[in-house]
Structures are given as structure tokens and as C-alpha cells.
Structure 1
Amino acid sequence: MMGDILFLAHRIPYPPNRGDKIRSFNILRHLATLSTVHLATFADDDADMGHADALRPMLGSLHIGKRTVSTPVGAAKAVLTGKPVSLTMFDSPAIRRFVRETLDARTIDAVFVFSGQMAQFVPELPADTRYVVDFCDVDSAKFAAYADSSRGLVRYMHNREARLLSAFEQQVARRAHHSLFVSAAEAALFREDAAIDADRVRVLENGIDCGFFDPDADFATVDKPDGSLIIFTGQMDYRPNIEAVRSFADDVFPAIRAKKPDTQFAIVGRNPTPEVKVLADRDGVIVTGSVEDIRSWLAAADVVVAPLRTARGIQNKVLEAMAMARPVVASALAFEGIDARPGEHLLVADSPAREARQVLELLSDPSRAETMGQAARRHMLHRYVWAETLAPIGALIGMAESSQHDAVAALVD
């Protein structure tokens, strides 16, 4: 008889409205078609706590713990214990207890960890229990990149985090049957340093819900400002997104406005920090904050930009824009890991100056922009479908694909 699955996620996988939640939600939904799933996860705030009822129909049991460790406290604990901040920020005796009690009370055939820091809750497992960790990206490399662009104490802390987290990631990977990454580039980067068999490091790509992200779907429209509209979408308290919009506003948008003075640049996403909000004081820049439906803004855009200067893995913002048939101009880092043809499905720029030229080319040639957007959507429908990208999971956790739990998955469709 098939046993159950224990699923650990660093952030509640609902609603699927940001990169990590989109991936974890779709993985959770897929796992629920294979067997009964028990979920332990964190909530960032009270609103997150309120999403428990949406998940319960999919699950055998659920534990949600609200994160209460502040960054200063987490950093202090990290220094005192010699651990990465990424672990101390997510420590939880309650989750440790839930994991232990679930393993004791249930027949657990597979443990699936989403995001490396949740591996700290996994005790020694029986030899026949499959253990899979979805790192998504190489987080330690992200902190190394942060260190390169920082100074003083901040640089020291980022370097410390990169070093300690890298050691933890490799320790986890040596225990796991499989370590998963969102792109071949991330997997190759991890293989460079990990002293484990290369075939235990696998790629599990993201998908896109092309039924939801459909330009012909039923969603509200936004009042488009006069002139052309460029948009950027993302969680606006996330450092790479902050860097991206600041760089675009400083180094790209002025060149576009010099040629097309009526062009507007909208920064669309929740929780804009003060350094993002202040950009709205500039001519032509709009900062929306949280919006009811991101599709409304995507549909209104003449061009979607992804000018990321620091990036890991696959950028969902790019896949979403392409699924909505919008022409995209992406930096080389934002394009990394995406299987698409530059010049046909999107444009890829290797510098801010090139980004400005490519945006202007699309704004000046609406027919080309429309053709590129339609080609992008067709490619998403052909290449990035969740059912296909997640198909390997059954074999990875030692469970054959089955339709016996399809009704459970349908509850959240």
C-alpha cells in the first residue's frame, strides 16, 4: 500500500501569486494526485494564516506557523550559533514537533522539501523513505552576488551567509536522494562544488498557467495612460527587483523618454519599499503597489521589461508576460534558463543602452511587437505546461503517476 508524503515549504504555497508560491503550489497540487500529503509551512503574516482553509481539501494534515523571528534577532542567533541567517530566520520548534509526530504516526514514503532552509527540520529517515529537496536556486550564490555589490559589515555578512549556506546546501544534498533546481544553469552551478553524484542533481523546470495568463480571459481592464506604457512586475520588497527598477529608471528610461516623451513606466507589484516609492516622483514613472489582477496591467502594456541585474533561476515574470502575448525585453540574466529564441519570442539585451534601443524599436513598430507577443504565447503553450514540467516528480519520489487523487487536485482548479 502506498504511503503518505510529508511536504515542507518555507512559505505557505497559497495563493500562487509570486514566484516561489507559484512553484510550491503547483508541486503541492501535483503531489496530491499521487498520495495523501501532510504540509508544514510558514506564514509571513495574518493574511497568510487565513489561507489555511483553501489548502485543507488537498491535505491529510496541515501545520502553519507564523514567522516571528525578526532579521536582527535572526542575525544575532546566527552569529551566536555559527549557522546561516537563512536557517535561524526559519527556525521553529513547532514545525520540528509536527514533523516528528507525523513521521511517528503516519506511514511516510517520501519527504519533499521546498527551499533548502526547510531541510533543517528533517531528521534521520528510514533507508526506504525517499527524500527529495527542491532548492529551486543556488541561494548561496545569490548571497555571494550580494556581497560583490556591498561594502563594510553588509559585505561581510553576505559573504558569511554565502559560505555557511553553501556548506549547508552540500550537506543536505549528500543526504537527499535527489536535489532539484529550476534550470540547467542552476543545476550546473551546484554540481561544480557539490561532492555528490551528478545524476542526483536534477532539473525540474517551472511551468505557466496559460489558462489563467490568457489575453482573452475575463479580467478587468485598467485605464491606460496616454502614450506608450512599459511595465515591470514583481514583489517590490525583493532586492533584485528593487535594483532592477532603479537601474531602469536611472539608466534606461531617460533615453526612452528623450525619444518618446509621452511614454510611461509602471512598476507593478506589492510592498514597494521607500526607495521604490520615491521613483514615482519622476516624470512618467508610476508605482502601483499591490494590484487586484496582474493580468490587467500586463494586457495594457506595450512592452514588458525585466531589467534584472541580479537573478537566479527562471523568472516567472517573463513567462507570465509571454503567456499574455506581450513583447518582452529582458536582460541576459532575466533570460537565463528560459527555453526561447531571442528575436522571435522576446528580445534579450546585454546592457542598459541596448535595453533602451530594443524597447524603442518595439514601441516604434507595433506590428512587430504584436507578432512577437503572439509567438511568445504559442511557445508558452507548447513548452511550459505545468503537467509536463512536473511529470518527473512521481519517479523522483518513488511513486508512480496515478489518477486516484485527481479529484483532490480538481478542488483548487
Structure 2
Amino acid sequence: MNIVVLSHRLPFPPNKGEKIRTYNQLEHLRKQGCTVTIFCTIDSEEELALARQYENESGFKVETVSSGLKKPAMLIGLLSGRALTVSNFYNRTLQTRFNAFIQHNEVDAIYCTSSAMAEYLFKGDSTVTQKVADRRDLIDFMDLDSDKWRQYREVSSFPMSLVYRYEESTLTQYESRIQQRFDECIFISSNEVELFNMKLNDQPANLKVIGNGVDVKAFHPPDRPRKKDQLSLLFSGVMDYLPNENAMRWFVDNVWPELTETYPQVKLVIAGMNPSQSIINMADDERITVTGYVDDMLACYHEATVFIAPFQIARGVQNKILQAFSCGLPVVTTEVGAEGIECSDGTHYLKATTQQEFVRQIGKLHDDPRCYSRIAANALELVNDKFSWEASNEELYELFKQPLAG
């Protein structure tokens, strides 16, 4: 099977949420003997070198072009009424190369890794824009992006709230257009599909759920028991990403003062690349460590005793929570943090909403060894039973193989 992938980011190395998902999906296609050609933009010479490394390691062909000047492109998109997200990932040179490849090669399927990449089908020549009888066109929305911008708007002040409102509105219309054009529209959880159904006021048959998995070989419990007499909190993620940054600002501003008063020995590690200045400033408190990029995230999961995910805004499935589950590390998170994962409060994690609840639930794990062990064991069992990359990737492969309707 000859598959063309339009990827909004180079899926290598798999060091952040959406890249982890796409990387594992493409690995499965490789193991099935598929021929894969990836089209994506890159931002630096370093990323170009990574693309060549990925080609050598995977056997895929990776067609890259420089992403160029994104701000002028986004301004032009804004003036034309196009979503900023779409303008950000659209590149005319990449479009030309993609068109030429489709014209001169027999392609069994086109796979877009985000809603923004649908633009290359909408703006392509006739061999691209039209549905073809012997080609499947699939798109992985992952999350419903328009609702993410709604959440951003609700936690932002003017003028950014106005920008986010624009993005929410334009993407809502764009997502509906995508649903009508593609053979299959894939989401990371049933929550996302239900939300899209509500927006469409319909239940189209081409909306499918394919969940994330966890690499249980890469994320596993430590060989030695954790030092549960210590209280070491961990949060991980790309730390200039608004939902992550917002979560930690809320936690440090609202929960940390009471938590440190109740548990003076508590430590907090914020692990992940690209920390913003507001995150870096948190390390002024000697009990808080901001690591920046981490080569070995597994070590962070092993050294921690509790994983916190105090999300105020979130969409989809949080890989970081699944990774904590897989490492046998108990999680305290909000309802939106656990949303999309089929897990239960009090069984697989402890839910907290207010600052008092976070202090109480963290304290419960620290003070009650039985509760700690039960939550950790249940979460680990859940991951092993329901979050296999092999199972979810096979579901995707079956969608590629399905005959076209009509």
C-alpha cells in the first residue's frame, strides 16, 4: 500500500504529544510493509538533519521544505478570513511538491495528521481536490481544535480573547468542511466525537475514534520501590504550550502556598522543553526545579512520588497522564485532565478541582500507603489492558484498507 502523509510537524523524534501519536502510527504502517512518503515543513537546519535521520531509520521518504516566514502568511490569512492555524501550516512550495507527487504516482491513501493539513487537499490541483475512486483520504483531527480556542478565549483578556474568538469561529466552519470532504475523520476519544456531533447537529458515519497508546517498554515502574516518605511532585510537558503553562501557573499561585505550609518538605519538578519565562521564574523557590529539556523522562517519573496534572484547559487525551499510569505513579488531576481517558476517580486517579482538594488529595496519597498502592496498581493495570499502541494502530490500518463507499 502506497500512503502519502501530510504531517503538520516532522514526527521525529517522538518527544511531544501529537508527534508521539503520529510516529507510532507510521511505525505500524512500516511494519505492515506500506510505502510511506511524508510531506512536512521544517523550521531549522537541525530539523532537516533529523528528517534525514528519520529517513535512514524508517525507510520512509521525507519531503521537506522550509516553513518560511509564518507571521506574514498568518496576516494574509487573517485578511482573507482564513483560520490562523491553517495559514500557519500552509506552504505553497510544499503544495507544489505534493501536487506533483500525486500526479505522477499511484497513491492508495492520503493521511493528514491534523485538521490544518486538509488545506493541501482543498488547494491542490484537480487530482488532489477531488475524491478518487481508488484512493482513501483520511484525516486525524486528534482533538477538536475549535473548542481548544474556545477554552483559550475563556481564560484570556482583550485583545487575545478577540483573536481566540476569531480562531474558534473560523475553525468551526473549517472543521465542518473537512468532515464533508474526507472519507474518515479520526479523533483521539469519544468525547471529541460527541462534541463534534453536537457542533454539526448530526452523527455522520465517517467520525471514528482511535485512541492513544503507551510504550510500556519505555515507560515502566521503577525496579526499586519509591521512597514514599518523601513528597516529590512531577509535572511534565512542553512548557511554553498554553494549557501546560496555565496549569502550572494556577497550581503554583493557588495550591503551592497551602501545600508547602502543610507539607514543608514537598518538592516540585517541572520537566519539559521550552519553559516560558513565567515557568523559569518559579524556580526562584528553592523547592521548585524547572529542568528544561530532559533526555531521560523516565528517570523523572521514577524519582517522583506523585504526578500532578492541574489542567484548567485541555482537549483530547493527556499522554503525560498515561505515561504516569504506566510508570505506576499515582496521579492527581482535574476532570478535564482525565477527560478522554476511560478511567475512574478514586480507582485509577484522584480528582481535584479547588486548591483545597489538591492539597487534600496529594496529602491522601502521601499519608495513606494503602490508597497510594491501590491507585498506582489500578492505573498500571488499566494501561496494560486498554492502551496498547499495537491495538489502536491496527484499527487505523484497517481504516486504510476499507473499500471506498459506492
TM-score normalised according to structure 2 size:
0.91
Q: For 1:367 and 1:50, how far apart are their aligned partners in 2?
A: 49
Q: Which residue of 1 aligns with 2:13?
A: 15
Assess, with a 3 A threshold, how the Cα gap between structure 1 residues 107 and 399 changes in structure 2: closer, same or farther: farther
User: 1:77 Cα deviation (Å)?
Assistant: 1.6
TM-score (norm 1): 0.90
> Within the alignment, does 1:204 sit opposite 2:210 as a pair?
yes
The answer on whether the counterparts of 1:69 and 1:89 sit within 8 Å (CA) in structure 2 is: no
* Aligned residue in 2 for 1:62: 62
User: What's the % identity of the aligned pairs?
Assistant: 28
Distance, in Å, in 1 between the alignment partners of 2:254 and 2:151 is 21
Aligned to 2:281: 278
Q: Which is worse superposed, 44-53 or 178-187?
A: 44-53
Letter in structure 2 aligned against 1:247: W
Offset, 1:270 = 0.6
The SS at the match of 1:321 is: helix
- AA at the equivalent of 2:281: V
Matches within 5 A, 1:11-410: 11-32=9-30, 33-56=32-55, 57-70=57-70, 72-122=71-121, 123-124=128-129, 125-194=131-200, 197-216=203-222, 227-398=230-401
Q: Give the equivalent residue in structure 2 for 1:403.
A: none
CA distance in 2 between partners of 1:60 and 1:280 (Å) = 42
For 1:16, what is the secondary structure of its paired residue? Answer: coil
Distance between the aligned counterparts of 1:344 and 1:390, measured in 2? 27
Q: How far apart are residue 58 of structure 1 and its match?
A: 3.0
Deviation digits for residues 107-158 of structure 1 (CA, Å, limit 9, x no counterpart): 1011111011111112324233111110000101111111122222211111
Q: Which amino acid aligns with 2:18?
A: D
> Contact (CA 8 Å) 2:230, 2:305: kept in 1 or not?
no
Q: Secondary structure, in 3 states, of the residue corresponding to 2:27?
A: helix
Q: Deviations over 1:345-384 (max 9, x none)?
A: 2112232321121001111224432332232212211110
What one-letter code is carried by the residue in structure 1 that aligns with 2:17?
Answer: G
Where 1:236 maps in the other structure, the secondary structure is: coil
Distance 1:326 1:181, change over 3 A: same
1:4 counterpart = 2:16: no
CA distance 1:58–1:84, change in 2 (3 Å): same
Q: Give the drift of 1:196.
A: 6.2
SS in 2 for 1:41: strand
Moved more, 7-16 or 344-353: 344-353
Q: Give the distance between the partners of 1:111 and 1:160, measured in 2 at CA.
A: 29
Name the CA distance, whole Å, in 1 between partners of 2:266 and 2:371: 18
C-alpha distance in structure 1 between counterparts of 2:177 and 2:164, whole Å: 20
Counterpart of 2:124?
none
CA distance in 2 between counterparts of 1:129 and 1:49 reads 30
For residues 228 and 155 of structure 1, the distance between their equivalents in structure 2, rounded to whole angstroms, comes to 38
> Equivalent residue for 1:408?
none
Residue by residue over 1:231-269, the C-alpha shift from the partner in whole angstroms, topping out at 9 and shown as x without a partner, is 100000100000000111011122211111010111111
> 8 Å contact 2:310–2:337 — kept in the other structure?
yes
Q: CA RMSD in A?
A: 2.1
Partners of 2:362 and 2:45 in 1: how far apart? 40
Per the TM alignment, residue 59 of structure 1 is displaced from its structure 2 partner at its CA by 4.2
- Alignment: residue pair count: 392
